[in-house]
């Protein structure tokens, strides 16, 4: 049976690179009807924090990854010591004492050629004569990364190691330890580096942000998964939108691209918008309620959910991120809109008192305040005034919302309501 593992270190949050590695491991396990193992590599007692463990577990669950087994390296120190002692007794390792008298166990690296058949990159050759002797157990009693990895992967029967290509340099060191301990070598697949749009390594500025932060910014997990999936793999036929369920049936680790890929936030925004367009408004409203409450836009115990759903439906096809709703729709919740000074200067600098008063009057006289009737009243007015619709549409939008862009004007007026719309229009009539 195929068994893969994702092995994050809880010295920080789960970031985009780790998220993609987890995805490709989980996806491969699903496609092969195998097992997905989660191993928390918390041997660094100083830097490993419970809050990072909690964040990693939460982020993986949010992405939809359910693990079959969970291990903590901090609970396995006796296993590492046992295998290190085994190498000592066989003469393949030796003890080195520090000036303070503390002992470290070192593996003596033999000179040989190492060949690894990488499932993505093909055959990779290494010369072990260029590798210095490897510390197995440090003088403080903790295992080194490479040694603990080998022991764990062997004892957990990991068949495939799928990880970032920054670990390629660790592969020959681990291969030597596998051989020394008499363990079979698993198959390796090294995923390409994720670059920023500036051509450099991914940074916070170019997207190296915690997975949990993407959720807070208003990205849907389905959209983020879809985007991460396309960082090194493609379903074919130039498709960009694909559900994770469908991807399971198409995924082959050997088809992963080996060249570096670019993480583009604009592309992620586009993809998130595609998912927001078809998302369930009820679920989006549930996500928005605590955010709206935090800005004092609503009282969660006393607000009109049906009205909120109408606003969600009005905006969801336009939003790059769900959280943009807070800024784009703020004028619905505020007593007075926050005015964009540039928009006021451009569209309300001229005296439009006559036109705004007339439109407010037409709205007031509507017995059936519907989108169709609102548009009819507007079209009739501009025809009577002999002006182009755009000459009045933009000033009306700015007067009502303080913004130059947004949903359709007539739908906007309907949702804003007759009384509030008239009051805001008349405020700009001298």
Spatial distance between the Cα atoms of 247 and 161, rounded to a whole number of angstroms: 20
CATH of domain 341-428: 1.10.10.350
The predicted model scores a pTM of: 0.91
Q: Which CATH architecture has domain 3-67+193-271?
A: 3-Layer(aba) Sandwich (3.40)
Q: Which residues are catalytic?
A: 204
If one counts every other C-beta atom within 10 angstroms of the C-beta of residue 167, the result is 17
Q: Supply the CATH classification number for the domain 73-191.
A: 3.40.50.620
- The CA-CA-CA angle for residues 202, 208, 209, to 5°, reads 175
Calpha distance 316→297 (Å, rounded): 18
Q: What is the domain partition of the chain in residue ranges? A: 3-67+193-271, 73-191, 279-332, 341-428
For 416, the enclosing helix (H) or strand (E) is: helix 409-416
Residue 237: predicted pLDDT: 86
pLDDT tens digits, 151-164: 999 999 999 999 99
Alpha-carbon distance of 215 to 323, in angstroms, equals 10
| pLDDT single digits (tens) 250-298 | 999 999 999 999 999 999 999 999 999 999 999 999 999 999 999 999 9
| CATH code given to domain 279-332 | 1.10.8
3-67+193-271 and 73-191 have identical folds: yes
Tokens of 134: 């490897």
CA distances from 196 to 193, 206, 262 (A): 10, 5, 6
d(CA 252, CA 372): 52
Contact indicator for 84, 147 with CB cutoff of 8 Å: yes
At 348, is the pLDDT very low, low, confident or very high (cuts 50, 70, 90)?
A: very high
Q: Concatenated DSSP letters for 360-411? A: HHHHHT-SS--HHHHHHHHHHHHHHHT--HHHHHHHHHHHHHS-S--S-HHH
pLDDT tens-digit map of 304-327: 999 999 999 999 999 999 999 999
Strand segments, DSSP code E, in 119-218 are 122-127, 134-137, 160-164, 187-191, 194-196
Per-residue pLDDT at 119: 97
Q: How confident is the model at residue 6 (pLDDT cuts 50, 70, 90)?
A: very high
* DSSP 8-state code for residue 210: B
């Amino acid at each position: 049976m195929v068994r893969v593992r994702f092995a994050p270190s809880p010295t920080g949050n789960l970031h985009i690179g780790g998220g993609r590695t987890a995805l490709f491991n989980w996806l491969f396990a699903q496609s092969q009807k195998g097992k997905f193992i989660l191993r928390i590599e918390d041997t660094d007692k100083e830097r490993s924090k419970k809050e990072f463990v909690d964040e990693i577990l939460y982020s993986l669950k949010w992405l939809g990854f359910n693990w079959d087994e969970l291990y903590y390296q901090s609970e396995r120190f006796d296993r590492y010591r046992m295998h290190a002692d085994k190498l000592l007794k066989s003469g393949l390792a030796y003890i080195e004492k520090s000036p303070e008298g503390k002992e470290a166990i070192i593996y003596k690296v033999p000179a040989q050629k190492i060949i690894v058949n990488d499932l993505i990159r093909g055959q990779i050759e290494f010369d072990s004569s260029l590798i210095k002797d490897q510390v197995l157990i440090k003088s403080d009693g903790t295992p080194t990364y490479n040694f603990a990895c080998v022991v764990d992967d062997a004892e957990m029967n990991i068949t495939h190691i799928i990880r970032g290509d920054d670990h390629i340099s660790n592969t020959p060191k681990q291969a030597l330890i596998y051989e020394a301990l008499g363990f079979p070598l698993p198959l390796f697949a090294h995923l390409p580096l994720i670059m920023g749009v500036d051509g450099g390594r991914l940074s916070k500025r170019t997207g190296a942000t915690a997975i949990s932060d993407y959720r807070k910014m208003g990205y849907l997990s389905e959209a983020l998964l879809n985007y991460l999936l396309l960082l090194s793999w493609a379903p074919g036929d130039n498709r960009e939108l694909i559900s994770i369920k469908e991807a399971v049936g198409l995924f082959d680790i050997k088809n992963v691209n080996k060249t570096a890929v670019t993480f583009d936030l604009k592309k992620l925004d586009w993809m998130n918008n595609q998912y927001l367009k078809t998302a369930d408004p009820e679920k989006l409203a549930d996500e928005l309620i605590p955010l709206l409450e935090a800005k004092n836009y609503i009282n969660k115990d006393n607000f009109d959910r049906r009205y909120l759903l109408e606003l969600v439906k009005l905006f969801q096809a336009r939003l790059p991120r769900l959280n943009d709703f807070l800024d784009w729709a703020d004028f619905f919740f505020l007593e007075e809109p926050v005015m964009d000074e540039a928009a006021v200067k451009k569209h309300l600098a001229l005296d439009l008192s006559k036109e705004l008063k007339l439109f407010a009057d037409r709205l007031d006289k509507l017995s059936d305040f519907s989108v169709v009737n609102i548009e009819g009243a507007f079209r009739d007015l501009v025809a009577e005034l002999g002006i182009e619709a755009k000459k009045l549409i933009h000033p009306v939008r700015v007067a009502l919302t303080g913004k130059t862009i947004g949903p359709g004007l007539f739908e906007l007026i309907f949702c804003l309501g007759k009384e509030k719309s008239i009051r805001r229009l008349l405020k700009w009539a001298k």
